[in-house]
Amino acid sequence: MRIAKPMTPNLPEGKWALFLDIDGTLLEHAAHPDSVSVSDELRQLMQTMERRLDGAVAFVTGRSVSAVDRLFHPLKMRVAGLYGLDHRLTPDGPVEAADEPADIAALADEIEAELGKGVYIERKGPVLAVHTRAAPHLLARATRLVEMALDRLPEGYRVIAGNAGVELMPLEAAKGAAIRRFMEIPPFIGRRPVFLGDDTSDENGFETVNGEDGISIRIKPRGPTAARHVIADVTDAIAWLQANFGDPAKQAGRDAAE
């Protein structure tokens, strides 16, 4: 891990593939994941970027594909959901979904009973997320409960503590693996990857992109990161995407206004 450098305004010329986390990267975090909303301007930017990159744009997120579709409706994008356990490799293609195992469902019930309504338990198939943004004093206890559960769960799970919550997920749930899967198929193949993320779960993706001579960018980092560049906040991340992959005419208008 290292301290990343601020991102320069413009990428060099080249064929790029764009991978985007959602929460904390394109949208500000909220106490409840369903409390966020997508503006028409962001939807339009996504469509423009997909067109300019010949379709080489994908969400790589902890949300499920179905949750992403609800959020960005009516827009449909390529998505690696649940850290790569859910996939839709083409906008109109089938969704490869992951079911919730019985032991993870039981654990979710236990943690909810233990911590009460101060936290939000998000059930995402084999991924269990405990959100404590509305009750930060419960983060340590939530993390401890999830860590203790590893001893009685089948092998193959790991715990990732985030900025405002903790997640339990299978070892194969990794954003880096999801990015590699996209990079092996059209229209991504042969391009240099760019990945924007904001949290601990994105570090694996940064490492993968670095290994592919790509551009790794962390939003609002809190200390060292595998990302080679940083952007201050969500607003600046959107502006950077607009400047590099958005509508050139609109950007020229913004520059003239300034």
Instruction: Mark whether 179 and 144 lie in a shared domain.
Output: no
Q: What is the mean pLDDT of residues 187-211?
A: 96
**What 8-state DSSP symbol labels residue 96?**
B
pLDDT digits (tens, 9 = 90+) for 2-25: 667 777 668 888 899 999 999 999
Instruction: Mark whether 181 and 124 lie in a shared domain.
Output: no
Report the percent of the chain where pLDDT is more than 70.
94
Mean pLDDT of the chain: 90
pLDDT digits (tens, 9 = 90+) for 131-180: 998 899 999 999 999 999 999 999 999 998 887 899 999 999 999 999 99
Active-site residue identified among 21, 23, 86, 199: 21
Instruction: Mark whether 73 and 118 lie in a shared domain.
Output: no
CB atoms within 10 A of CB 185: 11
Q: Is 21 a catalytic residue?
A: yes
Tokens of 14: 């080249």
**Is 133 part of any domain?**
yes
- Split into its structural domains, the chain has a count of 2
CB atoms within 10 A of CB 29: 20
Instruction: Mark whether 81 and 209 lie in a shared domain.
Output: yes
Confidence category of residue 248, pLDDT binned at 50, 70, 90: confident
**Is 11 part of any domain?**
no
What pLDDT does residue 221 have? 82
Q: Which domain holds residue 126?
A: 102-170
What pLDDT does residue 256 have? 46
What pLDDT does residue 249 have? 67
In sequence order, the 6+-apart residues with CB closer than 8 A to the CB of 176 are: 204, 205, 207, 208, 209
pTM across the whole model: 0.85
